Structures are given as C-alpha cells and as structure tokens.
C-alpha cells in the first residue's frame, strides 16, 4: 500500500504519493563519492545557494567524544548573514554526527564555494524562526514535509551564525 500525505491547505488538499529515498547503502555510497570528489576538486565540488537552489558547504566540527576535527559536506540556504541547514541523516532517523558534535561544541568553521572560511556558532531554530526557515526550505522542494515523516523525530533546522557579529567570520583561504 502506498503511503500518502497532504499539504494541509484546505484549498489545495491534494493527496500525493509519499517521496521515496534510495536504500541506505546508496545514500552512504553517494556521501563517500562526494567526499572523494571534494578531495580531487576541492571547493569546486561545492556550490553557492541561490533563490531557487540550495548550496553546499563543508563544515568542520569538533568530535564530541574524540575532540578531533570532523568534516561533512552539507546543503544550506542563506538567511541574511546566517547559513541554514537541516540536521538530516540522509532522511534516516538517527541524528547526524555533525549535529551531535555541534550540540556539544556549537563553534565550527565553514568552507564556502568561493574559498572563504567562516567561523560560525550553531543553534537549533525554534518557534517562529523555525517556521519561517522551514517555509524557506519548502519553497525549493514541497516534498520536505513527506521526507521528515520518514524520520522518527523532528528534523532540526540548524542556524549557523557568524561569530563576532554579522560581518565577522569570513576569511579568504
């Protein structure tokens, strides 16, 4: 039986097929391929966010158990000086390790597609901020609501704010 969900708007209450996600081994293989691509292409493997497409950056966090640097490539949107990403683990239920690391140590470094590095501090959006940022993500793909229903808990929307003020943190590499 096909799982169905609706957008919730009574004027456009359309029943749709739930979005699908590839098997976990394909998701993990894609992550490994992207890391390998980054090793070869460096920042050319990243892209800036636009009004119609999410961008990709590379984040460096501190491992919550090891204290060692940990790196991940994430999708993001711009929100003024802030970067906004979702703590999704390929839409699987466990929280991604980079998010667990940021919860323990909110300070991180982000490498952007233009080569700049930004010193940031992370927090999970709540309340009106979360609703506003969720709406931004949904303008890019209306299936996000369906994807989040595949997870056992709420998908955190993570805000990465520049450390030291709105103009601080950007450094050329």
**Region at 90 (left for phi over 0; alpha for psi -120 to 50; beta for the rest):** left
Q: Considering only 49-58, 62-71, 97-106, which range has the smallest mean pLDDT?
A: 49-58
Q: Is 1 part of a structural domain of the chain?
A: no
Q: Is 30 part of a structural domain of the chain?
A: no
pLDDT digits (tens, 9 = 90+) for 76-120: 999 999 999 998 876 667 888 999 999 999 999 999 999 999 999
We report the CATH number of the domain holding residue 63 as 2.30.110.10
CB 105 within 8 A of CB 121: no
Q: Is 108 part of a structural domain of the chain?
A: yes
pLDDT digits (tens, 9 = 90+) for 8-30: 444 344 555 566 666 666 666 77
Q: Is 158 part of a structural domain of the chain?
A: yes
Q: Is 27 part of a structural domain of the chain?
A: no
Phi, psi of 42 (to 5 degrees): 55, -135
Number of domains in the chain: 1
Domain that holds residue 163: 46-167
Q: What is the pTM of this model?
A: 0.74
């Amino acid at each position: 039986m096909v799982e169905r969900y609706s957008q919730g708007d009574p004027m456009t209450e359309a029943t749709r097929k739930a979005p699908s996600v590839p098997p976990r081994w394909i998701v993990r293989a894609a992550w490994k391929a992207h890391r390998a691509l980054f090793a070869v292409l460096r920042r050319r493997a990243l892209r800036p966010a636009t009004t119609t497409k999410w961008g990709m950056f590379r984040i460096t966090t501190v491992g919550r158990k090891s204290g060692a640097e940990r790196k991940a490539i994430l999708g993001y949107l711009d929100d003024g000086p802030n970067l906004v990403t979702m703590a999704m683990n390929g839409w699987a239920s466990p929280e991604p390790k980079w998010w667990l690391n940021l919860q323990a140590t909110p300070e991180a470094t982000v490498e952007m597609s233009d080569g700049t590095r930004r010193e940031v501090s992370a927090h999970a959006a709540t309340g009106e901020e979360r609703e506003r940022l969720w709406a931004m993500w949904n303008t890019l793909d209306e299936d996000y609501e369906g994807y989040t229903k595949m997870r056992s808990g709420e998908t955190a929307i993570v805000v990465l704010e520049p450390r030291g003020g709105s103009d601080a943190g950007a450094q050329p590499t």
